[in-house]
Structure 1
Amino acid sequence: MRCRPFKVIAIHDAEHPRMVEREGDRRVLAALADAGSNLAKPAHTIHFLYFKSVDAAQSAASELQAAGYQNIRVHRAPTKSLWKRLFGPHEYSCIAETHAIPSEEGVFATTDRMNALAQKFGGDYDGWEASVEK
């Protein structure tokens, strides 16, 4: 008896990282709501991206600035490893701030855009945080 490939698993596996991101976004939204935040009000939101080179981080920063983000900073990312601190490889953070209404639809769209930007320059999007607005 031969086993046939189960195509649904392949589709599910391709979507798995996105589902994990969605769940992470939902957890942050739930934490904001649990803290009493009014999710209909714009919140101070900070996004964190990481890159292998300062040039890649600065390129992403330029695109974020053009998209209207503020307080954009590029720094060498801290590491706990003494070896990495001394000899590398080093990572560079790109941190950008904005004010946005933390709706599920808006957060998902922003996460998708940030992931695309990080991938464009060979980096990773590490997520976001937002202020509690009463």
Structure 2
Amino acid sequence: MRAEASSNAKALRRRGWIKRRCAIWPKPVGPLLPTEIINYLYVPDEARGRRAASELLEAGYRVEVRPAATRPSWLTLAKIDMVPRSDNITMIRQRFEALASQLGGEYDGWEAAVTN
């Protein structure tokens, strides 16, 4: 099976398919550009949500504090534009987990659109 795959790759190279493919997709695909990263922090009450919001605003986040839709708690929704690389996500996660611990809340993760 391995020899067959190797001979198929050689045939594709001879026909120039590999070069054409590289011309069609010249850039690597992946989350390389800044995109909006949305973080979800749940806290027991509005006062703690406002404390979290104050700290996050100072760090450059856009923040909303509102009652949680499905929980008896408050949501601190924090958005920031950055490249979703693993080092940035690690930094974000550490910040939000520390805030959750300080305020008796829960960090429920993040989401981001992939931008090329």
Query: TM-score of the superposition, structure 2-length normalised?
Result: 0.71
Within a 5 Å distance, the mapping from 1:89-128 to structure 2 comes to 90-128=72-110
CA contact (8 A) 2:39 2:77 kept: yes
List per-residue Cα deviations over 1:6-35 (Å, max 9, x = no partner). xxxxxxxxxxxxxxxxxxxxxxxxxxxxxx
Q: Distance in 2 between matches of 1:76 and 1:93?
A: 6
RMSD, aligned CA: 1.6
5+ residue gaps, structure 2:
1-27
Q: Find runs of 4+ consecutive structure 1 residues off by over 3 angstroms.
A: none
Q: What residue number does 1:18 align with? A: none
CA distance, structure 1, for counterparts of residue 81 and residue 30 of structure 2 = 14
Among the aligned pairs, what percent are the same residue? 34
Structure 1 alignment gaps of length 5 or more: 1-35, 85-89
Distance 1:49 1:66 in 2: 16
- 1:43 positional shift: 1.2
Correspondence for 2:61 among 69, 79, 97: 69
Separation in 1, partners of 2:59, 2:33: 21
1:78 aligns with 2:60: no
CA 122–53 in structure 1, closer or farther in 2 if over 3 Å, else same:
same
SS where residue 97 of structure 1 aligns? strand
- How many residue pairs get aligned? The number is 89
Residues of 2 paired with 1:104 and 1:39: CA distance? 11
Q: Check whether the contact 1:69–1:97 (CA below 8 A) recurs between aligned residues.
A: yes
TM-score, reference length from structure 1: 0.62
Asked if the contact 1:44–1:99 (Cα under 8 Å) also holds between the matched residues in 2, the reply is: yes
Is 2:58 aligned against 1:50?
A: no
